[in-house]
């Protein structure tokens, strides 16, 4: 079965690592999908595989088997943001977030919480 979602793939890869290695590995996985370009993502992807393959082969193989599917979202242009971010890292985070936005009619939990908090502020 092909794992197309970075959230689930991250969980599956982390489950194949010891608890002590999981925080560092999670940051490395986030670096892959938060990059601005496919080239940067490929470099980060290859670095993860190289670092973890020797000692944690199952984790590296779990990630490597879905490489093309996981990197496919770089084949589509990111939507225009309408503003210039203050820091370069904000640009990458915004573009990655834009690719991962929920379907219309649904919102992220933080956004939903903020809306709820704003609507109850007048009471």
**How does pLDDT run across 63-114, given as a tens digit for each residue?**
999 999 999 888 887 776 665 555 555 555 566 555 555 555 555 555 655 5
Residue with tokens 């573009």: 95
Q: How many CB atoms lie within 10 A of CB 91?
A: 15
Task: Note the helical H segments in 34-108.
Answer: 38-53, 57-64, 67-70, 88-99
pTM above 0.75, yes or no: no
**Distance between CA 118 and CA 99 in Å, rounded?**
26
Triad 7, 11, 17: Cα angle to 5°: 145
Q: How many CB atoms lie within 10 A of CB 81?
A: 13
Q: How many CB atoms lie within 10 A of CB 96?
A: 19
User: How far out from the chain centre does Cα 33 lie?
Assistant: 4
């Amino acid at each position: 079965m092909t794992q197309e979602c970075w959230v689930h793939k991250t969980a599956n890869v982390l489950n194949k690592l010891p608890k002590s290695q999981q925080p560092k590995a999670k940051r490395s996985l986030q670096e892959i999908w938060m990059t601005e370009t496919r080239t940067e993502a490929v470099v980060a992807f290859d670095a993860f595989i190289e670092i973890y393959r020797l000692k944690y082969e199952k984790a590296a193989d779990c990630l490597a088997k879905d490489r093309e599917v996981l990197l496919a979202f770089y084949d589509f242009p990111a939507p225009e943001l309408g503003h210039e971010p203050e820091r370069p890292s904000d640009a990458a985070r915004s573009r990655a977030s834009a690719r991962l936005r929920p379907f219309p009619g649904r919102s992220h939990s933080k956004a939903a919480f903020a809306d709820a908090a704003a609507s109850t502020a007048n009471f």
